[in-house]
Amino acid sequence: MKIGIIGAGNIGGNLTRRLTALGHDVSVANSRGPQTLTALAEETGATPVTVAEAARGAELVVVTIPLKNVPDLPSGLFDEAAEGFAVLDTGNYYPQQRDGRIDAIEDGGLTESRWTEQHIGHPVIKAFNGTYAQDILDKPLPKGDPRRMALPVAGDDEVAKKTVRDLIDELGFDTVDAGGIDESWRQQPDTPVYGLRAGVAEVAKALAAASPERPEAFRA
Ligand SMILES: NC(=O)c1ccc[n+]([C@@H]2O[C@H](COP(=O)([O-])OP(=O)(O)OC[C@H]3O[C@@H](n4cnc5c(N)ncnc54)[C@H](OP(=O)(O)O)[C@@H]3O)[C@@H](O)[C@H]2O)c1
């Protein structure tokens, strides 16, 4: 699959590593430009590109940057993406440590991914937001292994959600359908499923146990 990854940090870097190892055609961008991505490109065979080029021809675009930087993404970002492309959003709102206050999330009641959708102008599928970056490299297991970890996946577009769930399966993880983006508070920071290393049944149970109230630690 042709995949564009925007963000080459902990998550974007490790997704680049695993997706190239699986044979996908990966382009990767960061904020400083492709000349700063030569080491990752040499290591993985991914193509370093500018943000504006990242979605060109992509069937899947991964947005994996700090939430506060989402509004900086250029308009027309997806103009040259493949027809029917999906967007995977790994983002979290960390108001105290990183992002500062975002009123639309804190007062407006928007889920973090709905806010991101509004900025990028395209529906997203939310996954990996509660996964430790290192687990992307260390925890993949074959389908059917009883120790295989499951990841919650939320999104409104069922076709895009299936694309992402199939890819996560290929990456070595089970998935649990976590509903639509309005329900994706169930997997935001400090919920029972956030950072949970467990299989399908426990992940489903943790999603069901979540509270929609934003925890104090994740308010500005
Ligand atoms: N770390 C984790 O274990 C983890 C787990 C789950 C979810 N997440 C979430 O996933 C997202 C990414 O986290 P991370 O830990 O991978 O972040 P990170 O290590 O800080 O890396 C952020 C990346 O985003 C790039 N970036 C920032 N602004 C950009 C822009 N305007 N255009 C293009 N690229 C931009 C940075 O580029 P430069 O290097 O050039 O500045 C960097 O490559 C965050 O929302 C985070 O909360 C993280």
Give me the pLDDT at residue 108, please: 87
Residue 131 in contact with ligand 1 by CB distance below 6 A: yes
Give me the pLDDT at residue 212, please: 94
CA 61 to ligand 1 center in whole angstroms: 14
Domain boundary assignment for the chain: 2-215
CA 6 to ligand 1 center in whole angstroms: 8
| SS3 at position 177 | strand
**Residue 116: is it exposed, middle or buried by C-beta count within 10 angstroms (0-12/13-18/19+)?**
buried
**What is the greatest pairwise CA distance in the chain?**
45
pLDDT digits (tens), the chain, 220 positions: 999 999 999 999 999 999 999 999 999 999 999 999 999 999 999 999 999 999 999 999 999 999 999 999 999 999 999 999 999 999 999 999 999 999 999 998 999 999 999 999 999 999 999 999 999 999 999 999 999 999 999 999 999 999 999 999 999 999 999 999 999 999 999 999 999 999 999 999 999 999 999 999 999 9
CA 12 to ligand 1 center in whole angstroms: 7
Q: Which residues pair with 97 in a beta bridge?
A: none
Class for the domain spanning 2-215: alpha beta
Residue 31 in contact with ligand 1 by CB distance below 6 A: yes
Structure pTM? 0.98
